[in-house]
Amino acid sequence: MTNLKFLVTGGAGFIGSTLVKEISTCNKVVVVDDLSMGKKENIQFNDNIEFIHGSVTNEALMEKILSERNFDYIFHLAAIASVADSVERPVESHRVNFESVLMLLELVRKYQINLKRLVFSSSAAVYGDESTLPKKEESVIRPLTPYAIDKFAAEQYVLNYNHLYRIPTSAVRFFNVYGPNQNPESPYSGVISILVDRYKKLINGEPALFSLFGDGSQSRDFIYVDDVIQALLLIANDDETLGKQFNVGTGESITLNKLIEVIDKALNVKLPVQYEKERSGDIKDSVADISRLLSIGFKSNYTIQSGLENYLKSEKLM
Ligand code: UD2
């Protein structure tokens, strides 16, 4: 992909900024981010990147952006990404996670006649607590939180805009994404970012207790962010993916206990772990069936070991 125009909402966030880094070497990229979760420092600026500080809920701003430019690709990654936040603030969360998407779709329908693809970021949260594993795209959907409900509803609108209006859309359901630039500051931040923060403290001789909710036997399908970017770009460029949603994971899972063991071993330390009561609403096990993603040529470049190693190196821990 070269000399194309991209819009990345949430482009200062963890996944967004990684995508922007990848595509901005040879393409023009407009980033829209209100910096509520993301950080400007996450973006490695070059002349191809235009940063617009604003919210995707700001209709006038979004209309201005979409009416004045022709984009080839739009990646909608802006969201209130915390499930807990959505439970605390369902109305605000709905505005960001659902209404902004519908508005964006309408603006695309009105102005973006040359668009090649809009990719919407949905979540494995849509599967909820139904226990059949691995999760397939056609598995039972049981969204349990405002976050999951909005992600599912928005995803369905996005795909329906393809079926109803021929807008070129696809959606991705992220499993547990990890890697550099993930913000560890909230208790609901990705567990690997919290772990890395604790290991950093441990190595710096600071207090570094990790609270593990449950007995550590819960498992997740952790995918390294660079593999996620590969999946996003493959999906955006394949005609077979139009109007469809894709699980984005590795198809493998690991327990939290094992994960800590792997990092302990890599860093040759022992992280102090305090076992606490299981978090309410926590899912026991989660793993993706990624047959659909594999069918378009996805090939994971990272195991959990090599992904962690990259992350730990980027944090200067290795
Ligand atoms: C992930 C997504 C969430 C939603 C959900 C759907 C992330 C960051 N969150 O939540 O947005 O899509 O999947 O199922 O990707 N844990 C600890 N100690 C900590 C933090 C977490 O023990 O300090 C545990 C937590 O209780 C859980 C596991 O680690 O059992 C993973 O937690 P998470 O918040 O990284 O991700 P998850 O799967 O709950």
Ligand 1 in contact with 282 (CB < 6 A)? Answer: yes
Model confidence at 252: pLDDT above 90: yes
| Alpha helices (H) in 58-208, listed in sequence order | 59-68, 83-88, 90-94, 100-111, 146-165, 191-203
pTM over 0.95: yes
- Cα–ligand 1 centroid distance for 13 (angstroms): 18
Q: In this model, does residue 249 exceed pLDDT 90?
A: yes
Mutate to test the pocket of ligand 1, among 186, 188, 191, 250 (most ligand atoms within 8 A of CB): 191
Digit-coded pLDDT (tens) for 148-203:
999 999 999 999 999 999 999 999 999 999 999 998 988 889 999 999 999 999 99
**What does the pLDDT read at residue 226?**
98
> Does residue 129 have a pLDDT over 90?
no
- Give the model's confidence band at 1: pLDDT under 50 very low, under 70 low, under 90 confident, else very high: confident
Task: Count the helix, strand and coil residues of the chain and give each as a percent rounded to the nearest 5.
Answer: 40, 20, 40
147 assigned to active site: yes
Counting from 1 in the atom list of ligand 1, the atom nearest the Cα of 276 is 22
Give per-residue pLDDT as tens, 80-110: 998 889 999 999 999 999 999 999 999 999 9
The answer on pLDDT for 282 being more than 90 is no
What atom of ligand 1 comes closest to residue 174's alpha carbon?
12
For ligand 1, atom 7, the nearest C-alpha belongs to 190
Say yes or no to pLDDT of 280 above 90. no
Which pLDDT score is estimated for 17?
98
Classify 177 in phi/psi space as left (phi over 0), alpha (psi -120 to 50) or beta.
Answer: beta
Query: Average pLDDT, whole number, for the chain?
Result: 97
pLDDT of 136 > 90? The answer is yes
Of the residues 147, 161, 224, 302, which is catalytic? 147
